[in-house]
Amino acid sequence: MKSVGHSIRKIDGMAIATGKPVYTEDLAMDNALVVKILRSPHAYAKIRSIDLSKAESLEGVECILTYKDVPNVRFTLAGQSYPEPSPYDRLILDQIVRYVGDEVAIIAAVDEKTAQLAMKRIKVEYEVMEPVLDFEQAIGHSSIVHPEEDLSCNFEIGLNKEKNIASSYHEEVGDVEEELKRCAVVVEDVYYPQAQAHTMMETYRAFSYLDHTGRLIVVSSTQVPFHIRRQLARALQIPASKIRVIKPRIGGGFGGKQTGAGDVFAALVTLKTGKPALIIYDRKETFTCTTSRHAMRLRVKLGADQDGIIRAIDMQVLSDTGAYGEHAPTVLGCVGHYTLPLYNKTRAVRFDGHAVYTNKMPAGAFRGYGATQGTFALESIVNKLAERLKLDPTEIRLKNISKVGETFLTGQGVMLGSTSLDQCIVRGKELIGWDEKFPRREVGPNKVRAVGMAITMQGSGIANIGTASAEIRLNDDGNFTLLTGATDMGTGCDTILSQMAAEILEIPMEIIIVNAGDTDTSPYDPGSYASSTTYVAGTAVVKAAEELKSKILAQSAAFLGVSREDVELNGLAVRTLSGDQEISFAKLAELTILGTGKLQLVGYATHGSEVSPPPYVAGFAEVEVDRETGKVDLIDYVAVIDCGTVINPNLARIQAEGGIAQGIGMALYEQVRYDELGKMATNTFMQYKIPTRKDVGKVRIEFEVSYEPTGPFGAKSIGEVVANTPPPAISHAIYNAVGVRENHLPITPEKVFLGMQK
């Protein structure tokens, strides 16, 4: 293959690396109004009165909007395909504020200073209510986070607002209780993954203006332009046809930008004033007023027979969705969907979960989407089982994992199309030096080194829901335009999708123009999330390219006066098999598009998959623990990945290294703390530590290629699965080092130290 499988540089790489003005703020008009948000200082309160008089009279203040000025229609900020599973539980501004940081007023002024000054002059009287802060106390709490009558859902998601339950999910196959009784060994434990922050470097931002026809244009740093358009239409009560959402280059997303933030405020200002408006969340707002990973409590019980064959899995999950239910039902469901199929020798599995409302910052989508939390719990308990049975942790996995052609209990008969997870485990073991290093070695008077491991899976797209469309045109001068709604967020999909188109059309990538992420011009795509771009949008591109290819061949054959079977592609031309006649793409374009042609050749496809094939990772950690201080140094992390065919090895490697680093942060550093009144204390990079380049040790990635029959060129996804193994693998390594099983993430030196004292 000429394009696919090669480490081709990203088509926007040089521009973004050298600081060219291609991000949202760079494109905003200089005269855009500055939009700022007055936020609630209370975790739970009702607004009694708002006095704007002193603020509105300031020169340079354009408008100040409160709950009285917004449409009375509840919506969700979750970027999901319609009908969204997330509850419609928020207004643009509400009279009830539900967490410290919830929006109270929107201020638009000619500059930042004026907006800030106006904000200070707004007087709000609150009736403060008792907040629900501990998610384990949410069900049955005397305060109800969402008492409103007009909250609604598109589906039965098990919402019970009187009990602060945003969503419930139950799934059961076989009789778990019975099966557990029959098991020779049963292990159980409770795990608490934290509300990790995405901390993408470009904070949330959007700017909006009205175009020459009076339509609302929103340029947004988002992963989901089409969903943002639909969300704005509902929230602002204007037709979607009056809105265009454009995604420029964006400075990281990690799922955070699958949830709206700020777009609706800027858009409302533009609608009210007719003027361009720019909103930029500062870092503190990004930490405290957007979304995070769902903090969870996972109780897991695992039963196995004497040989270590896992026969029963029982998972009870409590998920903290915070003040609003963005992604609450789906993240909850994914905890089970992306863990239970890993081990398919089970005879019974049960999943029972609730996502609860609390008066804290909402949770949302974050790379891994429930799989990360579920993997931490399941893999930790499997490590515990291995120890109980005195089996090597790698061996117990090899005995239990699913093979090609097999099904799993909750999988409704879907067969596994591809896996090289067994090879990933074997290869990872070699790379880390498992046999020499497991479980621990003393390396100094107070220092001990140990290894730990975990495996994981994710999906590739959302089966039967996620669809993507793509269009490829042969242009008038013989080059091509690829139109896609996929949203490159640095991950390189604009490049990867053109690699695929180039491969099918047998053309160099340089003659493909990519136009993406604009709701006016792009064919529909849900956006970049759910690990779907390569797999779903990629297949749409392949199909569109194939359609165009066959049109090119047919049309060329007609022009050459031969039959369709007698021609083939040849460079930038089509020639007869005998080689005696040829027509260049440029000529073909001229004959079809210009003058008498009247038939521009276009390939178009919409693709959705009936399956969501899992990519896999086997992750291995080596840590060094200081017995005196509890300090943990990550020495080495090995991840061996099965993402099917690797379309662009370098880009896949960076995805993997970056995902692993985020997992390392979750395992060791990224602590979220609230004070007793519900204010988040970890709201800057001083308090909330993401890994620096000193903190990640050495991360090594390898690929064990498999071939996924339903994927483009055999590819599966990679973006999310890579985030999942570090918490359980590192936690396992720490346990092997010093015998401390710390189930509350992150595993800080204090916790290890205290654990060692027990």
Partner 1 sequence: MQIELTINEKAVKWEVAFDELLADTLRSHGFLSIKTACDTSCCGLCTVWIDGKSRLSCSILSLQAHGKKITTIEGLPKEAEEFAQILSAEGAEQCGFCSPGFIMSVLAMKNELVNPSEEEIIHYLTGNLCRCTGYMGQLRAIKTFLGVA
By the 8 A CB rule, do 651 and 657 touch? no
Binders of partner 1: how many residues, by CB under 8 A?
Answer: 56
686 binds ligand FES (CB under 6 A): no
Which does residue 509 touch among ligand FES, partner 1, none (CB within 5 to 8 A, set by kind)?
none
Half-sphere exposure of 317 (CA within 13 A, CB side): 38
662 binds partner 1 (CB under 8 A): yes
Nearest to 33 by CA among 115, 116, 119: 115
Contact of 131 with 359, CB cutoff 8 Å: yes
Return the beta strands (E) in 526-615 as ranges: 567-570, 573-576, 582-584, 602-608
Dihedral sign (CA 540, 543, 549, 554): negative
- Report yes or no: 637 and 619 within 8 Å, Cβ to Cβ: yes
DSSP bridge partners of 34: 109, 278
Q: Which of 337, 221, 237 is nearest to 280 (CA)?
A: 221
Q: 200 near 257, Cβ under 8 Å?
A: yes
Cβ 252 to ligand FES shortest distance, Å: 5
Query: Is the CB of residue 666 less than 8 Å from the CB of residue 729?
Result: no
Minimum CB distance to partner 1 smaller for 41 or for 649: 649
Among 619, 659, 714, 719, binds partner 1 (CB under 8 A): 659
Query: Contacting partner 1 (CB under 8 A), which of 491, 531, 533, 609?
Result: 491
| Cβ proximity of 716 and 644 under 8 Å | yes
By CB under 8 A, the residues from 209 to 268 that bind partner 1 are: 249-254
Q: Measuring CA to CA, which residue among 569, 282, 335 is closest to residue 458?
A: 335
For residues 273 and 62, the answer to whether their CB atoms sit within 8 Å is: yes
Nearer to ligand FES, 200 or 386 (CB): 200
User: Residue 175 or 702: which CB sits closer to partner 1?
Assistant: 702
Tokens, residue 303: 């039963």
Selected from 127, 178, 188, 282, the binder of partner 1 by CB under 8 A is 282
Check residue 160 for interaction with partner 1 (CB under 8 A): no
Position 698 contacts partner 1 (CB under 8 A):
yes
CA neighbor of 209 nearest in space, from 260, 272, 118, 119: 272
203 touches partner 1 (CB under 8 A) = yes
Residue placing its CB nearer to partner 1 in the complex, 252 or 526:
252
* Contacted by 241, from ligand FES, partner 1, none: CB < 5 to 8 Å by type: none
Binding mask 456-495 for ligand FES (x = CB under 6 A): ----------------------------------x-----
Asked if 445 interacts with partner 1 (CB under 8 A), we say: no
Q: Does 201 help bind ligand FES (rule: CB under 6 A)? A: yes
H-type alpha helices, 361-466: 371-388, 393-400, 421-432, 434-437
| Residue with smaller CB distance to ligand FES, 308 or 490 | 490
**What is the distance between the alpha carbons of residues 569 and 582, in angstroms, rounded to a whole number?**
10
Question: Per rule CB under 6 A, is residue 252 in the interface with ligand FES?
Answer: yes
Nearest approach, Cβ of 492 to partner 1 (angstroms)? 7
CB of 517 to partner 1, least distance (A): 14
CB of 685 to ligand FES, least distance (A): 8
Kindly indicate which of the ranges 8-16, 263-271, 459-467, 607-615 contains the residues binding partner 1, using the contact rule CB under 8 A. 8-16
> Which residue in 651, 666, 667, 715 binds partner 1 (CB under 8 A)?
651
Q: Is 16 in the site for partner 1 (CB under 8 A)?
A: yes
Stretch that binds partner 1, among 6-14, 162-170, 327-335, 369-377 (CB under 8 A): 6-14
Query: Closer CB to ligand FES, residue 76 or residue 223?
Result: 223
By CB under 6 A, tell whether 659 contacts ligand FES. Answer: no
Partner whose footprint covers residue 199, from ligand FES, partner 1, none (CB < 5 to 8 Å by kind): partner 1
Confirm or reject binding of residue 673 to partner 1 (CB under 8 A): no
Question: Rule CB under 6 A: is residue 225 a binding residue for ligand FES?
Answer: no
Distance CA 288, CA 345 (A): 43
Cβ atoms within 10 Å of 608's Cβ, excluding its own: 18
577 to each of 561, 566, 568, 570, how far by Cα in Å?
A: 13, 5, 6, 10
- Residue 122's nearest CA partner among 140, 109, 136, 137 is 109
Q: How long is the chain?
A: 758
The reply on whether position 284 binds partner 1 by CB under 8 A is yes
Residues within the interface to ligand FES (CB under 6 A): 201, 252, 490
Interface residue list for partner 1 (CB under 8 A): 7, 9-10, 12-21, 23, 26, 198-203, 249-254, 282-284, 489-492, 648, 650-651, 653-655, 657-662, 684-686, 690, 692-694, 696, 698-699
